[in-house]
Amino acid sequence: MSVASPLATLDGQVQAALNAFVAVQRARLAELGPALDPLMSAAEQSVADGKRLRAGYCYWGWRAAGGDPDDARIVWAAAALEWLQSSALVHDDIMDASDIRRGRPAMHRAFAQQHRDAAWCGDADRYGVGAAILLGDLLLSWSEDMFRTSRLPPESLARAAPYLDACKTEVVAGQFLDLASSAAGESSVEVAMTVVRYKAAKYTVERPLHLGAALAGADDALLGMLSAYGLPVGEAFQLRDDVLGVFGDTAVTGKPAGDDLREGKRTVLLARAFENADDEQRAIIDNSVGNGALSTQAVAQLRDVIVATGALACVEQQIEQLHQAALEALETADISDTGAKAALRALAELSVQRQR
């Protein structure tokens, strides 16, 4: 596995494992006939691209704990996290009423269009939401199924299973806090950072690292070190996501810029802006955030407020501080595999400085 590009080779291996898993599932469900094809095709499409960060952190957690770099079973186990991520995205797009995901129609929109194209009975949008909920549930089930069928020793799977369980529980808890804080119009930086930690930092970085390391037999000291590195990287990752959600290039991110503002997401970026705003700026925030029909001009006005209040500069500084804290924890870590240490350093850079 290349250290210079810690996800490059892994990406192809993960995709091959996902394809093989889908082939097994198609065979298992073949007796249901072609009516199931749209669901299975949507499942395949949901993992056809992506950053592979969670699988990558799982693999390099394995390596950090002394796992065999050539053991293909860890790739299969790590790939299971891609189903979990896809499940979360499908459900997230429903909750946010998003139209686009990775440059393509969100799954509930795609299912609704299939309904319209076939001129079926009933409401197309309701069908789309129902089908997408079922897809998300299926993908969540597959994450557990794929992990258990990695052929790793039963004692290794038993040792790692609590970390997969924690990953699934924590991300749902974080999603609910995100939903509730948006509904309540919460403007606290503290609450926003709690959402960041549970919705993203633990789920994207810390728990995948723990999962891979536990599979390789890591002790508590190493697991603690991985937390000291993984939590700040994960928090910086989500803060970067918040910035891209407002200031990102749609052609690169695959989602319309400003959608986080239209959806009313109470991010750290927005909380910082509200905290530093004057009365006029707060009125703009209160009157605009959460308006699904927000115009491009209104989004630009909100961006100006975020910049003028110093919120963007503050969050960028916080991202850099978190990045440095992670690197400092990594440098003092007792990891004998120098390749793993270099890869984790590169992964931190990739997570924090990404453009999508």
Contact in structure between 262 and 291 (CB atoms under 8 Å): yes
- Main-chain phi, psi angles of 231, to 5 degrees: -65, -50
Q: Count of domains in the chain? A: 1
Q: What is the DSSP letter of 31?
A: G
Give the H/E segment covering residue 257: none
- Asked if the structure places residue 113 within a domain, the reply is yes
- Asked if the structure places residue 274 within a domain, the reply is yes
Core vs surface per residue 322-343: b (16+ CB within 10 A) or e: bbebbbebbeebebebebbbbb
11-44, pLDDT tens digit by residue? Answer: 999 999 999 999 999 999 999 999 999 999 999 9
- Asked if the structure places residue 78 within a domain, the reply is yes
What is each CA distance from 92 to 107, 175, 178, in whole angstroms? 11, 8, 11
- Asked if the structure places residue 1 within a domain, the reply is no
Q: What is the DSSP letter of 218?
A: -
The dihedral of CA 308, 309, 313, 319: what is its sign? negative
Per-residue pLDDT of the chain (356 residues; tens, 9 = 90+): 555 578 888 999 999 999 999 999 999 999 999 999 999 999 999 999 888 999 999 999 999 999 999 999 999 999 999 999 999 999 999 998 889 888 899 999 999 999 999 999 999 999 999 999 999 999 999 999 999 999 999 999 999 999 999 999 999 999 999 999 888 888 899 999 999 999 999 999 999 999 999 999 999 999 999 999 999 999 999 999 999 989 988 877 777 778 888 888 889 999 999 999 999 999 999 888 888 888 889 999 999 999 999 999 999 999 999 999 999 999 999 998 989 999 999 999 999 988 77
- Main-chain phi, psi angles of 222, to 5 degrees: -70, -40
- Asked if the structure places residue 252 within a domain, the reply is yes
Q: Residue 302, Cβ neighbours under 10 Å: how many?
A: 21
Contact in structure between 50 and 200 (CB atoms under 8 Å): no
- Structural tokens at position 17: 């494992």
- Asked if the structure places residue 3 within a domain, the reply is no
- Asked if the structure places residue 330 within a domain, the reply is yes
Q: State the CATH number of the domain containing residue 316.
A: 1.10.600.10
Core vs surface per residue 253-291: b (16+ CB within 10 A) or e: bebbbbbbbbbbbbbbbbbbbbebbeeebbebbeebbbe
- The span from the CA of 181 to the CA of 187, in Å, is 8
- Structural tokens at position 15: 């995709």
- Whole domain around residue 214: which residue ranges? 8-353
- Asked if the structure places residue 42 within a domain, the reply is yes
SS3 label, residue 205: helix
User: In residues, how long is the chain?
Assistant: 356
